[in-house]
Chain A
Amino acid sequence: MTETTPAVTPGEETVDAIVRAENVTKVFSTRAGDVRAVDDVSLWVARGETVGVVGESGSGKSTVARLLMGLQPCTSGRVVFDGRDLASVQGRELRVLRRRMQMVFQNPFGSLLPHYSAAANVMEPMRLHGRGTKESRRDRAVELLDLVGVNPRFADLYPTQFSGGQQQRIAIARALALEPELLVCDEPTSSLDVSIQAQILSLIGDLQDRLGLSCLFISHNLAVVERLADRVAVMSEGRIVEEGPAEQLFESPQHPYTQRLLGAVLPVTS
């Protein structure tokens, strides 16, 4: 890889980053005035690494995800995916880049096509990107459903016929259909029951190990992020207030805001 972008943080130039946000700012204009949702954020995900972003509602963490995915343009700063500035890429080239990054959303039902079967939902990205034949796409979809723990016997059922946890598994299978290098998960377990959340977390952890995925994992749930992330960034009011290896950050948080967040957690066991 030919990484030539300037270093943002000391030591960072040695990192083989799949995606890198450099001094990114996003301002939304509303009737009530401008809102600086993301304010001078620099963040990168190294290959094979999982980076967690935690923060409360309105902290800007979902906006960061959307900027990194190129779903929204930055107001200033830039996002570089595998050495290429997303703002300078368009059309066909952008589509090629896009299939290398995929996203899993909070509400699986809202993100699946309701009138497509489970298999058809997983096949759709392959069809859009002209992968394989109809038959091979279906075989691959069934394989992926099996991989994420959806019984292939149910491949022809529609999203409403599945539970929330199963729907999220289908959404994950779809995200994996194009063999992305970067998987961005925005609160993927927040709408699920505790027992189902545990299943999905195990699945994501397992996929990270097996597929060597690079992952950006966004959640308001500190425990979930601690479990999956190698490195964690804490966001508050659009800024990253603290960033570091997960273990270190959770054991000795430095920033008062991180300390306050961790202090508010209510333990289940004594």
Chain B
Amino acid sequence: MTMTEPRDGATAPTATEPLLHVADLHTEFRREQGEPLRAVDGVSFDIAPGRALAIVGESGSGKSVTMRTVLRLLPRTARTTAGTARFQGRDLLTLSARDMRRVRGRDIGMVFQNAMEAMNPTLTLERQLTEHLLWHGICGKAEAKKRAVQALADVGIPEPERRIRVYPFQLSGGMRQRAMIAMAMITQPALLIADEPTTAVDVTVQRQILDLLAGLKERGTGIIMITHDLGVARYFCDDAVVMYAGRVVERAPTRDLLDTPRHPYTRGLLGSSVEVGGRDRPLAPIPGSPPDLARRPVGCAFHPRCAEAQLPRCREDQELIEISTTRAAACWRAGDDDD
């Protein structure tokens, strides 16, 4: 199954090869003592051009490590032990470091949660924006500057000719986040990976940034958005995968996922989320906290927190079970109430 089938035949391209095909990814972290930690443990997903995929999960679920694995930006203590990440016909995991550098920033753009940390505080926006263009040899200096000004204008930064000379700290948080998106988009990458791009900004700015990213999507950019915010996923992403303890526990078109969640963990996330207008709905928090990967529960990692768990079935490994052509969940009971 792929996530690329159009739901209503509207926008998604048909039957073409996915933009990025990730299969059976495994990444582990070395420790001073004991077995390595399996931070990413058999993750697979696809993304098509012009689509947005949400990777949803709590801290420690492996969503950021998954993306860092694909981008080959892991710390030294981490090692990818298996899997493929096919992007435009090549496996990113086997590219030379040199070839990989040509992909990052040119074909794959990156947007991070905190622009203040992601940008170089000692360089003006002009230097940072033109760097990708000049380093990849896409154009000359004069043209690069022109494009940088245009890129700032495109993300709605007023007075781009003046703003291009400022340093990141001279911008407000919302403006910095936009500048970082401009930086990621200036090379017109085919794929954009955004790690919690709106978590650090105010709600009114969040909407503007998502609408900005929606414009890119319309022009055919595939977007992977890492988020813990189910409202953002619903608003922006066509499809979603839910991660827990390094594995995908459910994948589905976002609306289906949130309207009829099939994995108990997804249901738990929904029961935990507070919504405006939901004052009278009692909160149903998931008890306990996400597992320490060094002490990953056997079988389904969620079963110690799961209200619906049945032993010994849940102590066995749970594979992703396909429920329909577009949905899968890693729970042996997920298919039970199929409609």
In the complex formed, the residue of B with least CB distance to A56 is B202
Q: Which residues of B contact A164 (CB under 8 A)?
A: 59
Q: Tell which of A66-74, A78-86, A170-178, A194-202 binds the partner.
A: A194-202
> Smallest CB–CB gap between A36 and chain B, Å?
17
- CB contact between A268 and one of B173, B203, B230, B290 (< 8 Å): that residue: B230
Answer yes or no: B14 CB below 8 A from chain A CBs.
Answer: no
Q: Which residues of B contact A201 (CB under 8 A)?
A: 274, 283, 285
- CB contact between B204 and one of A56, A195, A196, A227 (< 8 Å): that residue: A56
Q: Which residues of A contact B272 (CB under 8 A)?
A: 194-195, 197-198
Q: Which residues of A contact B274 (CB under 8 A)?
A: 197-198, 201, 221, 223-224, 226-227
Q: State whether B279 touches A220 (Cβ < 8 A).
A: no
Q: State whether B275 touches A166 (Cβ < 8 A).
A: no
Q: State whether A247 touches B279 (Cβ < 8 A).
A: yes
> Which residues in window 223-239 of B have CB below 8 A to A?
228-232, 234-235
Answer yes or no: A128 CB below 8 A from chain B CBs.
Answer: no
Q: Which residues of A contact B58 (CB under 8 A)?
A: 193-196
In the complex formed, the residue of A with least CB distance to B204 is A264
> Smallest CB–CB gap between B207 and chain A, Å?
5
- CB 8 Å contact bits of B68-111 with A (1 = contact, 0 = none): 00000000000000000000000000000000000000000000
Q: State whether B269 touches A195 (Cβ < 8 A).
A: yes
Q: State whether B235 touches A57 (Cβ < 8 A).
A: no
- CB 8 Å contact bits of B21-45 with A (1 = contact, 0 = none): 0000000000000000000000000
Q: Which residues of B contact A222 (CB under 8 A)?
A: 203, 276
In the complex formed, the residue of B with least CB distance to A251 is B277
Answer yes or no: A246 CB below 8 A from chain B CBs.
Answer: yes
Q: State whether A264 touches B207 (Cβ < 8 A).
A: yes
> Smallest CB–CB gap between A59 and chain B, Å?
9
Answer yes or no: B159 CB below 8 A from chain A CBs.
Answer: no
- CB 8 Å contact bits of B229-263 with A (1 = contact, 0 = none): 11110110000000000000000000100110000
Q: State whether B204 touches A260 (Cβ < 8 A).
A: yes
- CB 8 Å contact bits of B168-190 with A (1 = contact, 0 = none): 00000100000000000000000
Q: Which residues of A contact B283 (CB under 8 A)?
A: 198, 201-202, 227
Give the CA-CA distance A196 to B277 in the complex, in Å. 21
Answer yes or no: A9 CB below 8 A from chain B CBs.
Answer: no
Main secondary structure on A side of the interface with B: helix
Q: State whether B259 touches A269 (Cβ < 8 A).
A: yes
Give the CA-CA distance A224 to B259 in the complex, in Å. 22
Q: Which residues of A contact B59 (CB under 8 A)?
A: 164, 193
Give the CA-CA distance A47 to B284 in the complex, in Å. 29
Q: State whether A163 touches B289 (Cβ < 8 A).
A: yes
Give the CA-CA distance A165 to B286 in the complex, in Å. 12
In the complex formed, the residue of A with least CB distance to B172 is A58
Q: State whether B289 touches A266 (Cβ < 8 A).
A: no
Give the CA-CA distance A268 to B235 in the complex, in Å. 8
Q: State whether B289 touches A246 (Cβ < 8 A).
A: no
Q: State whether A268 touches B231 (Cβ < 8 A).
A: yes
Answer yes or no: B12 CB below 8 A from chain A CBs.
Answer: no
**Which has the most chain B C-beta neighbours within 10 Å: A221, A224, A266?**
A266
Q: Which residues of B contact A224 (CB under 8 A)?
A: 274
Give the CA-CA distance A52 to B235 in the complex, in Å. 27
Give the CA-CA distance A176 to B11 in the complex, in Å. 55
Q: Which residues of B contact A199 (CB under 8 A)?
A: 285-287
Q: Which residues of B contact A268 (CB under 8 A)?
A: 230-231, 234, 258, 270, 273, 275
**Which has the most chain A C-beta neighbours within 10 Å: B202, B207, B228, B271?**
B202
- CB 8 Å contact bits of B142-186 with A (1 = contact, 0 = none): 000000000000000000000000000000010000000000000
Q: Which residues of A contact B275 (CB under 8 A)?
A: 223, 265, 267-269
Q: Which residues of A contact B173 (CB under 8 A)?
A: 57
Given contacts A223-B274, A227-B274, A268-B273, A195 and B232 within 8 Å (CB-CB): no
Q: Which residues of A contact B230 (CB under 8 A)?
A: 194, 268
Give the CA-CA distance A194 to B61 in the complex, in Å. 13
Give the CA-CA distance A267 to B229 in the complex, in Å. 10
Answer yes or no: A250 CB below 8 A from chain B CBs.
Answer: yes
Answer yes or no: B268 CB below 8 A from chain A CBs.
Answer: yes
- CB contact between B203 and one of A220, A247, A270 (< 8 Å): that residue: A220
**Which has the most chain B C-beta neighbours within 10 Å: A198, A264, A268?**
A268
Q: Which residues of B contact A269 (CB under 8 A)?
A: 258-259, 270, 275
In the complex formed, the residue of B with least CB distance to A247 is B279
List 8 additional contacts besides A57-B202, A198-B283, A250-B279; criterion CB under 8 Å: A165-B289, A194-B273, A264-B204, A264-B206, A266-B206, A266-B234, A269-B258, A270-B255
Q: Which 4 A-B pairs have the closest CB atoms?
A: A266-B231, A198-B285, A198-B272, A56-B202
Q: Can you list 17 A-B pairs with a CB-CB distance of less than 8 A?
A: A57-B202, A193-B58, A194-B272, A195-B285, A197-B274, A198-B272, A222-B276, A223-B278, A226-B277, A227-B274, A266-B207, A267-B275, A268-B258, A269-B259, A269-B270, A269-B275, A270-B258
A residues in contact (CB < 8 Å) with B: 56-57, 163-166, 193-199, 201-202, 220-224, 226-227, 246-247, 250, 260-262, 264-270
